[in-house]
Structure 1
Amino acid sequence: MSDEELLEAVRARLGAAGAASEAAIARALEEAARERGRVLGSAAAGAMVRSVRDAMLGAGPLQALLDDRAVTDVLVNGPREVWVERGGRLSRTDVDLGTPADVRALAVRLAAAGGARLDDAEPAVDARLPDGTRLHAVLPPIADGGTLISLRAVRAAAFTLEALVECGTLAPPLASVVRTLVLRRANVLVCGATGAGKTTLLAAMLAVVPSDERIVLIEEAGELRSGHPHLVRMVARRANVDGAGRVELGDLVRHAMRMRPDRIVLGECRGAEVGDVMTALNTGHDGGCATLHANAAADVPARLEALGALAGLSRAAVHAQAASAFDAVLHMRRARGLRYLAEVGVVRRTTGGLEVATALSADAGGATVRGTAWPELARRWGLAVERTVGVA
């Protein structure tokens, strides 16, 4: 009996029993091998258990890629078009997923593992797998040419500000500024493009928060990892198949205000919840943070206006709320495989409305320059920057 036939027997046994824990897999493997007169060594049995586990609990043939600590994203464009991102660079792998039908079946199974539906009636899904991996999948004909799968790995270990300095994400002068903003309880908005490192920076910032403060973290998917000892998390919930049970991010922000928070943190601000976040940060809840997708720090006002419109806020209302709610903007950039903090900005009202003025900027090499808003930022938060910092 071949290994593949034995694996199929194990899968069939587990399917009939309705169990798929690792212990159940090991028992099913032992029973199936004994029934067929096979004796498995510990190494062979361990490899088969892992194979069945990956197929039933993990991402199947993609699990080995996700287990690689250097991999941040796994992208499937077709059965033999599997790409990974390592160190900020994409490369093609030799993984073969079989047929287009196999890729579709994998996407459907992963969606189900994340508690979501993926079929012809719901051809696109955004979900979180049990291990925290972010899943996005799209079926044909929405995905022209075949099923598309995108997986973003979530690593258990959280970076510190010191570690981000060592890997080039933070220039040393900017690390000092970020630390001071956190300790002095500034309300900070972290912005940047997808994959620019917003969540990584935010996690490192939360690790700086004093241990006697309570952080209430709100996320759409529980992906932020921080070493803070008193961090509680609430995660939004999509509607079930009957269209009931949905819990929005804005609902959770309002709940957070009643949970005796020292700091309220929104993992990603992407819709009408921006109104609730600004309200929370304008009612005595200082030291809060949120992330926002934006091309540059200067584009933050326009993004806030667009999101505020979803909450029914006028442009003037957004400007008034944002100027009071947010003290500083940290803009993350991704270039040539490196994610780094490129700008520290100050949020302020002007005669023209709302603006984010540059206080400090840095390039990918770590060279840091003061901007026009530096005196304002330094005076308010008691900041000092090394003499090596230039002046724009």
Structure 2
Amino acid sequence: MPPSFVPVRPGRPAPPTLVETQRAVEETPPPAGVRLPALGALAEFAVDPAVTDLLLDGHGVLWRDAGGGVQPVADLPPLAPDEARRLAVALIAAGDRHLDDATPCADVRLPGGIRVHAVLPPVSTGGPLVSVRIAAAEPWRVDRLVAAGMLDEAERALLTAAVHERRNLLICGPAGSGKTSLLAALLAEAPGHERIVTVEDVAELRIDHPHVVGLETRQPNADGAGGIGLAALVRETLRMRPDRVVVGECRGAEVVELLSAMNTGHDGGAGTIHCADPAGLGARLEALGALGGLSPHALRAQALAAIDLVVQLERRDGKRRVAAVGRLAAGSDGSLCVVPA
């Protein structure tokens, strides 16, 4: 049975094909005044520039985050499971990928700085799930982050000086804490003659800089071939004459390649990592290093030599802010810890 074949029970209409759903998105004009037409049926709910996330839950309810936390969209009735599935398939198809019973999870990038992640049942224990992350209408700059309260003037001075001095940065924090926004804003402070090469799983970084080159991972095809992961792409950057190597998010063996690049003359590099507390950063780095074949001792040595500054972010009461700026150090037991910068 071909992987894309979906059995149809008697009396049940056949699910729309990829071509049909993609055509539906292209031919259905978005409501007037929308700013992100690639979102199709969801575009009208992202008119407000403050909207950063649109989330469809397993009951067909659409939720929206406009800076004050996630709240349900009151003027949209819950979608039926078939409607939710068609929406999820159409959004993923708009990013040139398939979403079906054979491939029930997918992640794509759409025009306008949009990342869409979708999951179908039975992987989803309810109905289809859609998570949309929307980038700011304009690339972030440090001035705007200061005005938004993410960092104060002292932190601004410290971090911009670190960029100008080509220090290696690691930005940490939980999901939705603004890691990508801060990273993009800081990289925009780099001199215009420098070449920034970014590596991401799904391209999200929007950097206001004249010379940015981006690489994005590729998923394997239906036969499991052709995939290119983050670790391989970080190695590719070293052949591209980079002044700064940037990994949008370290979540696996690529952390080893990034630390290696930072330790072999590629100063001014940066990356982000999911970590809710500075006390857990050392263990998190060691776990990722193990995926790349590094022992805890070797990972600690590499990290201490490579990372100059650690920036910890937090999200509290809907606000994103810098919680601490520090540096890595070896604790009394030899493990990694973060001390004030």
Secondary structure, aligned partner of 1:146: coil
Partners of 1:321 and 1:73 in 2: how far apart? 36
1:118 to 82, 99, 103: 99
Secondary structure, aligned partner of 1:260: coil
* 2:139 equivalent to 1:158: yes
Partners of 2:269 and 2:138 in 1: how far apart? 22
Written as runs of structure 1 = structure 2, the 5 A alignment for 1:375-386 is: 377=341
| Aligned equivalent of 2:268 | 287
Q: Deviations over 1:312-356 (max 9, x none)?
A: 111111101111111110011000010001110111234422433
Give the superposition deviation at 1:78. Answer: 4.6
Aligned length: 318
Give the superposition deviation at 1:161. Answer: 1.1
Q: Which amino acid in 1 is paired with 2:264? A: T
| Aligned equivalent of 1:36 | none
| Aligned equivalent of 1:83 | 63
Q: Deviations over 1:284-304 (max 9, x none)?
A: 111110000001122111111
TM-score (norm 1): 0.76
Contact residue 60 and residue 84 of structure 2 kept, 8 A: no
Written as runs of structure 1 = structure 2, the 5 A alignment for 1:139-158 is: 139-158=120-139
Partners of 2:294 and 2:282 in 1: how far apart? 13
TM-score (norm 2): 0.87
| Aligned equivalent of 2:180 | 199
| Aligned equivalent of 1:242 | 223
Secondary structure, aligned partner of 1:330: strand
Partners of 1:88 and 1:327 in 2: how far apart? 33
Q: Which amino acid in 1 is paired with 2:201? A: E
| Aligned equivalent of 2:288 | 307
1:65 to 24, 33, 45: 45
Give the superposition deviation at 1:178. Answer: 0.6
The answer to which structure, 1 or 2, has the higher relative contact order (CA under 8 A, 6+ apart) is 2
Written as runs of structure 1 = structure 2, the 5 A alignment for 1:195-274 is: 195-274=176-255
Give the superposition deviation at 1:281. Answer: 0.6
Secondary structure, aligned partner of 1:292: strand
Partners of 1:341 and 1:283 in 2: how far apart? 29
Contact residue 138 and residue 148 of structure 1 kept, 8 A: yes
Percent identical among aligned pairs is: 45
Q: Which amino acid in 2 is paired with 1:209? A: A
Partners of 2:143 and 2:220 in 1: how far apart? 40
Q: Once structures 1 and 2 are overlaid, which stretch shifts more, 349-358 or 75-84?
A: 349-358
Contact residue 88 and residue 337 of structure 1 kept, 8 A: yes
1:105 to 77, 86, 95: 86
Secondary structure, aligned partner of 1:176: helix
Partners of 2:166 and 2:212 in 1: how far apart? 16
Partners of 2:280 and 2:61 in 1: how far apart? 35
Partners of 1:19 and 1:147 in 2: how far apart? 21
Give the superposition deviation at 1:119. Answer: 1.7
Give the superposition deviation at 1:138. Answer: 1.5
Give the superposition deviation at 1:97. Answer: 5.7
* 2:161 equivalent to 1:185: no
Gaps of 5+ in 2: 1-18
Based on CA coordinates, which of the two structures has the bigger radius of gyration? 1
Q: Deviations over 1:221-273 (max 9, x none)?
A: 11111111111111111112222221111111111111111111111100111
| Aligned equivalent of 1:7 | none
2:322 to 328, 341, 345: 341
Partners of 1:97 and 1:260 in 2: how far apart? 51
Partners of 2:193 and 2:228 in 1: how far apart? 29
Gaps of 5+ in 1: 1-14, 26-47, 360-376, 378-392
Partners of 1:169 and 1:338 in 2: how far apart? 8
Partners of 2:228 and 2:247 in 1: how far apart? 15
| Aligned equivalent of 1:4 | none
Contact residue 236 and residue 252 of structure 1 kept, 8 A: yes
Partners of 2:110 and 2:209 in 1: how far apart? 24
1:188–1:354 Cα change, 3 Å: farther
Secondary structure, aligned partner of 1:71: coil
1:151–1:19 Cα change, 3 Å: closer
Secondary structure, aligned partner of 2:249: strand
1:20–1:104 Cα change, 3 Å: closer
Partners of 1:98 and 1:299 in 2: how far apart? 40
Q: Deviations over 1:48-79 (max 9, x none)?
A: 73359x9xx73333111133211110011156
Q: Deviations over 1:2-27 (max 9, x none)?
A: xxxxxxxxxxxxx79x97897xx5xx
Calculate the aligned-residue CA RMSD, in Å.
2.2
Secondary structure, aligned partner of 2:252: coil
